[in-house]
Amino acid sequence: MVMLSQLLRFKLKDENDEQAPLSDLSVDLFEGEHPPVTGLYLNHSTKQKRSLPWSEVKSIDWSTRTIRVADLKAAQQETTDSMCKVVLLADGVMDALVLDLQNRRATRANDLQLEEEDDKLVLSAADIGSNAILRRITAGLYRRVTKSTLYDWKYIEYLRGDPGAVKSEAGKHLRISRLPPGEVARLADFLPYLHAAELITLLADPKAADTLEMMSPERQLQVFEELDEEQALRLLALIAPDIATDLLARLQPATMRSYLERLPPKQAERIIELLRYPEYTVGGIMTNEVVYVRGELTVIEARETLREPLKNPDFIYLVYVVDNEKERILRGVISMRDLLTAPDETKLEEIMDRYVITLQPLDSAAASARRVLDSHMAALPVVNKDKRLLGVVTVDAAVAEVAPRSWSEQAPRIFS
């Protein structure tokens, strides 16, 4: 076991007794829970980085602080492509912000611990304590390592602070991808916006979209503007239409128009429809991604009809009953529980609730939000003067509208 601050005082020595100071180490962060060292970097006066692969290492003499290698002349200059595949420990990870997934916080890696394992040197832990700083300031005179400030690297996530540094396919190896989107979003709140944007870039698109939805509006915009256009477009197609609408409305008109022209037609149509309504109205807080079915169907026919439509929307707790898919005149509502438990041959018309409280799209958002909360319903439908179903205002949207902003941004999103 050795700390990076100590290892950087080692020298490299080859079989011809040529020597060079060690300046850095590289690791492949996406290879295993404790990533192995892949290269050794020589301290040369030239600005171009030169490195030896780990395969050139013959042995490590801890007593003389010497790493024996085959031939120092085999050191190669690094290319931009090769540097994208690895990360430097001294120049990249040490002193960088890292995510401590065990304690759900952002912290700083003041030093790094490495261990020998099967003829390899692996990154085993990050030291976040003050003793690490003392070791570096005193050039090794202070040697104390406190176990309580060492955090196992398998619970650490490192981000470069550059959304374009690593391609998105690397995201499948991220430990943070195992966390729920809400926790990822909260962790991103503690990061600088470029680190947060990189995190979104590395996640798989479905989880990235869910995480983006749960960020505060300000952080959403900061992150979104750092994404490349193709990824931004993919995420816009996945996130809920009401959230996509709010996000696009904060962009420059030309940028918004460009995205709308390239989005899938169905999503673009939903967003354009919502953009018609001022933000202080019911239409401005509703979502128009709503599940509905014809009232003439039986329960078993409705279940089959809804199999595909139920895969995408966030709000599926209530199913609205309409006369037909084209006109969508609201006739009633049925809970998902009733739909699943009712006898197969029962007509929806027989079990739906016909006495539905409805909202108008141009009503006051604040007053209507209180109606939603007072109703103790998961959502209230929004209809026009002809009773055509336009969307719903969920309890989530209602809480966000009437609660203090500092509280509403922390409230969990359940339905929208």
Q: What is the pLDDT along the chain (416 residues), one digit of tens a residue?
A: 889 998 988 999 998 888 889 999 999 887 888 999 999 998 755 556 788 999 999 999 988 999 999 988 888 876 555 555 678 999 989 998 889 888 888 899 999 999 988 888 999 999 998 888 888 888 767 778 888 899 999 999 888 888 876 654 455 457 788 889 989 998 888 889 999 998 898 888 999 999 999 998 899 999 999 999 999 999 999 999 999 999 999 999 999 999 999 999 999 999 999 999 998 999 999 999 999 999 999 999 999 999 888 887 777 889 999 998 889 999 999 999 999 999 999 999 999 999 999 999 999 999 999 999 999 999 999 999 999 999 999 998 999 898 876 555 555 555 55
> Do 280 and 365 meet the contact criterion of CB atoms below 8 Å apart?
yes
CA distance 41 to 249: 48
Q: What residues form DSSP beta bridges with 380?
A: 393
Structure tokens at 119: 């003829």
Which amino acid belongs to residue 277?
Answer: Y
What's the CATH architecture for 292-408? Roll (3.10)
Which amino acid belongs to residue 123?
Answer: L
Q: Is 315 left (phi over 0), alpha (psi -120 to 50) or beta?
A: beta
Q: What residues form DSSP beta bridges with 333?
A: 320, 353
Q: How much is the pLDDT for 78?
A: 67
How many other C-beta atoms are found inside a 10 Å radius of the C-beta of residue 193?
17
3-state secondary structure of 124: strand
Q: How much is the pLDDT for 166?
A: 62
Q: For 127-146, b where at least 16 C-beta lie within 10 A, e where not — what string? A: bbbebbbbbbeeeeeeeebe
Cα→Cα distances 297→116, 267, 311, 334, Å: 67, 27, 20, 13
Cα→Cα distances 386→281, 382, 392, Å: 18, 11, 16
Structure tokens at 342: 């009712």
CA distance 292 to 295: 9
Helix (H) or strand (E) holding 321: strand 318-322
Domain range annotation of the chain: 2-152, 159-276, 292-408
Strands (E), 133-257: 150-152, 156-158
> Do 336 and 396 meet the contact criterion of CB atoms below 8 Å apart?
no
Cα→Cα distances 360→81, 167, 322, Å: 56, 46, 17
CA distance 388 to 219: 35
Q: How much is the pLDDT for 333?
A: 95
CA distance 25 to 42: 9
Q: For 68-93, b where at least 16 C-beta lie within 10 A, e where not — what string? A: ebeebeebeebeeeeeeebbbbbebb
Q: How much is the pLDDT for 168?
A: 46
Vertex 414: Cα angle to 411 and 416 (nearest 5):
100
Which top CATH class is 159-276?
mainly alpha
Q: How much is the pLDDT for 235?
A: 96
Provide the whole-model pTM.
0.79
Q: How much is the pLDDT for 237?
A: 95
Q: How much is the pLDDT for 102?
A: 87
Cα→Cα distances 191→96, 159, 161, 358, Å: 11, 10, 9, 41
